[in-house]
Amino acid sequence: MTRARLAWLLVALTVTLAGVLLLAMGRVPICTCGYVKLWHGQTMSSENSQHLTDWYTPSHVIHGILFYAALWPFARRIAVDWRFVIATFVEAAWEVIENTDMVIDRYRAVTISLDYYGDSVINSVVDILAMIGGFWLARMAPIWVSVAVVISFEALTTWLIRDGLALNILMLLWPLDAVRDWQGGP
């Protein structure tokens, strides 16, 4: 088996294991509404993070770009296939951790996500796939494209839903009342 095939096999196993762990943790496979939508655009909704994609999908693409960038210093020592496996493992681990009661309660306590009850398994799997897309975009495209995607996605989500990766991290680690009030909108 080639190194590339082994890497893709490990990635597939990692995504599968994440899904199995999420199911074992009691996460719902799909939205409890009983159907799956390609896109759900309501952030203040109990269906947020329950369907395939939503306004937080771009942040997972950004994860992939950032993981590629963070692993770049090791490029001479670790083949891109193994950096890809590492990035997928980190993203899958985050999806599992993000869906623990502790993190869900933190989101609900310090962010505007009062209706957040965790991700469905299908949403978590697609989030991991979005990270994979971001990783390979960073690998294949010129650096300026990756930078433009990160800035564009952050600007778009900040403008449209008053949230994004940077604000999400800020509010989880160091919540600010002023930011929460602004996110709540008029």
pLDDT at residue 114 tops 80: no
Pairing of strands 53-54, 39-40: parallel
Total domains in the fold of the chain = 1
**What's the pLDDT band for 64 if we cut at 50, 70, 90?**
very high
Q: Which residue has the higher pLDDT, 9 or 46?
A: 9
pLDDT at residue 113 tops 70: yes
CA distance 71 to 55: 26
What is the structure's pLDDT at 111? 78
* SS3 (DSSP) at 53: strand
Tokens of 143: 């650096």
pLDDT tens digit string along 138-179? 999 999 999 999 999 999 999 999 999 999 999 999 999 999
65 lies in which domain range? 3-27+36-184
Mind giving me the DSSP string for 104-160? HHHHHHHSS-TT-----HHHHHHHHHHHHHHHHHHHHS-HHHHHHHHHHHHHHHHHH
**What's the pLDDT band for 130 if we cut at 50, 70, 90?**
very high
Residue 172 burial (CB count, 10 A): 14
**What's the pLDDT band for 115 if we cut at 50, 70, 90?**
confident
What region, left, alpha or beta, does residue 118 occupy, with left being phi > 0 and alpha being psi -120 to 50 degrees?
left
Cβ-proximal residues to 59 (8 Å cutoff; 6+ apart), any chain: 153, 157, 164, 165, 168
pTM of the predicted model, to two decimals?
0.96
What is the structure's pLDDT at 176? 93
What is the structure's pLDDT at 42? 92
